[in-house]
Amino acid sequence: MPLQVSSTTRRGTRRQPAASRRAILRAALAEFAGEGLAGARMDAIAAAARVNKALLYYYFRDKEALYDAVLDDFFVRLLSRVTQALDGGGPAGERLLTYARAHFDCIAESLHYARLFQGELMSAGRGKSSHLTRVVDQYIWPISLRLVEVLQAGMASGEFRQVDARQFAPSIAGMIVHYFLVAPVARKLFSRDPFSQEALQQRRAAVLDFIAAALFADQSAGVKLAAEVASRAEAQSRVASQVAKTSTRRLRVQGKHK
């Protein structure tokens, strides 16, 4: 028999808080990225998440609170992953390239965030953002400090050439984020999907290669390490994809036997 889902536990009730909250955050991300905070509608978010408005306001008291939650959903994950990379064992070069890979992959897994954050920066430029200061203080500043420390450690050990770490750190972030911001232009220029798995893998490898070539004192060693770090990311992606497919097949088989 096929799997049965009780109507009393369907998404959109308080009986599945994790699933409902996740659905709301996904729908809100798409709405905020497309319409901005001012233009986003709670009705549209509730409809896209397949929950009623009462449940939406049960989890998030207003649109500002939901917007904050969407930002936190990304930046908490980003902070955790890049900090783990920067604080990991091994030489500074290994940690820095692993950081760049983690940063790139975090955005690639949540494509709306680049557009959302671009909108936030534009709002801040017009003096209309009350969220950017919190995001910078809570997430971006700690990442930047740690990244500068790793750059300085690499220069001290002789692994990196001498650069201005406070200039090089934002250049790394800019290289990573820029690709996702200009994706519509890339789609027109190259007539292909910039977010396909192949395109993302190629871009990730190119970003790591460029950083290594610009930073490592031994450029050839740095470029070789960058290729190794990029290859590990591709291997991990393949494993994750295979695990997901296996889990899906297992659920289907279990459903058929019930």
Domain end, chosen from 60, 79, 108, is at 60
Whether residues 184 and 102 share a domain: the answer is: yes
Nearest CA to 27 among 62, 61, 70? 70
43-56 residue pLDDT tens: 999 999 999 999 99
Q: What are phi and psi of 251, to 5 degrees?
A: -65, -40
DSSP3 helix / strand / coil % (the chain, rounded to 5): 80, 0, 20
Q: Is pLDDT at 141 greater than 60 in this prediction?
A: yes
Q: Is pLDDT at 9 greater than 90 in this prediction?
A: no
Which sign, positive or negative, has the C-alpha torsion 155, 161, 164, 168? negative
Whether residues 222 and 240 share a domain: the answer is: yes
Query: What pLDDT is recorded for position 10?
Result: 45
66-121 residue pLDDT tens: 999 999 999 999 999 999 999 988 999 999 999 999 999 999 998 888 888 887 87
Q: Average of pLDDT values for 11-20?
A: 69
Both tokens assigned to 17: 């808080």
Whether residues 161 and 52 share a domain: the answer is: no
Whether residues 95 and 151 share a domain: the answer is: yes
The one-character DSSP state at 182 is T
Q: Is pLDDT at 125 greater than 90 in this prediction?
A: no
Which sign, positive or negative, has the C-alpha torsion 243, 249, 252, 258? negative
Whether residues 121 and 49 share a domain: the answer is: no
CA distance 228 to 94: 10
Number of domains within the chain: 2
Whether residues 121 and 182 share a domain: the answer is: yes
Kindly report the CATH number assigned to the domain that includes residue 161. 1.10.357.10
Whether residues 177 and 210 share a domain: the answer is: yes
174-206 residue pLDDT tens: 999 999 988 889 898 988 899 999 999 999 999
Who has greater pLDDT, 4 or 236? 236
Domain end, chosen from 60, 86, 106, is at 60
187: containing domain: 63-257
Whether residues 161 and 41 share a domain: the answer is: no
Average pLDDT over all residues of the chain: 85
Whether residues 119 and 10 share a domain: the answer is: no
Q: Average of pLDDT values for 16-34?
A: 91
- Confidence (pTM): 0.81
Whether residues 77 and 194 share a domain: the answer is: yes
Confidence band, pLDDT 50/70/90 cuts, at residue 258? very low
